[in-house]
Structure 1
Amino acid sequence: MLVSGMTRPRPVRGATLNGESTRFNLPQTEADGDWLDARDAIDGAAPRLRTTVTVERARTIISRNASPDIPFDRSINPYRGCEHGCIYCFARPSHAFHDLSPGLDFESRLFAKPDAAALLRAELAKPGYSARPMALGTNTDPYQPIEADWRITRGIIEVLAETNHPLTITTKSDRVIRDLDLLAPMAAKGLAAVAMSITSLDPKIAATLEPRAPHPERRLAAVSALAAAGVPVYVSIAPVIPAITDHEIEHLIARAAQAGARFAFFIPVRLPWEVAPLFRAWLDAHFPDRAGKVMATIQSIRGGRDNDPGFGSRMKGQGPWADLLKTRFDIAVRKHGLNAERVGLRCDLFRAPQGPQGELF
């Protein structure tokens, strides 16, 4: 169903429209619900959108990268798409590779990889495999709501725990504490660390910015639980959005330290490819009073554009606004004693998986 431009927010969804892929000539479509969704529409409001999950039979599970400004060279993505619906998510454009929209499709039409643990076991058993920290949560959240039923992330961690393989996790969900029985023993060996992403402590802002992610207080509670279990915890203030969340930097760092986090980092908002028009539409729907100011400030950080893809600068930004954000962040971190040490995960304990699958390689 073609739409000319839907700007009215759907209930508990991030994107206000489905958006158009400018790279693959994907037509702009509205993600359809079923007849129950249509029945739920009241007084002309957009119907609720149901989430669907498609099984993806991947042939490999470890993704490699050589980016000079990313602190890991391998990662695993148990899912494609993310129901959290964060409007700024830089992974949204990846849905265009499946002829799906980076907009509403990204957060409602998901893909799951149930064979992930078996594929990982096979890849770790290959001759010559050398362990380096494996990153989870680098594209979409490994603890998004469907993980409660699919448990793919837990299966991956079980293999990494069995083989003493180092692991980092980035998530917005307190569901991570479900797996403390695996993560705490790994952390005791120097094999695990978790980064909890908290962009705002304001429930109203969080509800529109990342509508299906857990409440910020639940995330802080998860930080406390992880820290109490001996798991090194980072708080990721990413992204920082000028004129919407930047005023919270100092308070976020204070609360993170109070909860037991030992480290923190931030990234100014990035708007690659199809994310920029989705973000602009979101601003028009939720913050029309300051949309122009927000985009002008973002462009000042990104060299006059909506996005700067350059290595290094894409993570830090440039210009007076970027410098001010960094100065404020550095002062707050020093005040609360964060980032005072370095945590290096151990790679020397790795042992290739044993058993019939391992013996094939």
Structure 2
Amino acid sequence: MGPAPEHLMNLTVKDLILPNGSDWNRALIKQILPHEEATILSIKPRKSGAPDKMVWLGTSSGVYTTKSGYLKAMEDGNVQTQTPTAIGIDWNNNVWKLQVPPKIKLFLWKIFQGALPVGDRLASRNILVDTVCKSYSNVESINHLFLHCDVAYKVWNLAPFSTCIDSRGLIDLTTAWKGLYKLVCLPPSGIASGPLAPWILWSLWLARNNRIFNNKESTPEKIITKAVTAAQEWLREQTPEPSDSDAAWRSDSQRAGLGWTVIENELNSDYMAHCLYVPSPLVAEALALREAMAHCRAQGILQLHCQMDSQQLVKTLISKSPNPEIYGVVSDILLLASSFLSISYEWFPRSKNKVADALAKQALYNVCLVSPNLDNGV
């Protein structure tokens, strides 16, 4: 790219925004930063006079945490550590993104970091303990406890997977993990949307501790039953957060369809619009609400009850603490809200919000079908 020309040396973000502050100056962006146009336009600036806000880019909330600071320092310092990542653990996909509770994720992290206090790990730290497995006359290691012990072998055999697992044929848990957590359970098990393998490791660990500290034995049948039951109960309590209601979004084109319906004096009026350069479903939801509120205000409606199926957006509006991604749009919404005599926000199940959802999808379909190369929008 080279050095900036002299007349652009002191350019700031505000210089790329139109004088009225309503939107980006696309002509100027095309002239001086054409390669960054799409990225800049995907940031939705406020239309009102919301104040600037300092945010920490290391977290989605924009709030600094010690953990995020540590990770950033490690990243910038290019610090190399001896971890199991070097032999195949993809921490993000193989551990942190698994559909299991945080305690199980931390437990997996300890396993693959070699931080679980099994016999051989305690002995390596000069802690005087009996290192022999209580169920099998071998040194208790992570691989032995979870794969090669007679109890573990029987538990894996009893697991309701669609394919049989011979855990004794697996040399190392770390290298075998990518295959284990992807194992699919048979339909009657009731575990279709999440992995069972992490729960098996957790149940084996609980059984081991119960045997050592409480002198209580657990049969392989009881261990696998507890693993399956715990997985079923946790998955059953998870309610997926809706991502669109009055907004429909396409990731490939970053376009969004916006739809809203207004009920006034028992009469329904339906509206839709579209928007380009929308980076996420949450931004689309916020844009749709802003358009709907602005429309109602222009129509002279002074009392408003907003229903949407994005729990995250509702929580943000109630707490008035938007994350950086929607800071500008939510600032506009809150300013608009102050012009109503009364306003409230309510989460609405998607199943009860079908009209607005259909309008949004129709708006998205129309803009993609009629103008596939459209270069302007809301």
What range describes the TM-score normalised by the shorter chain of this pair?
under 0.3
> TM-score under structure 1 normalisation?
0.25
Structure with the bigger percentage of helix:
2
**Could you say which structure has the greater relative contact order, defined with CA pairs below 8 angstroms and 6 or more residues apart?**
1
> TM-score under structure 2 normalisation?
0.24
Bigger Rg, which one: 2
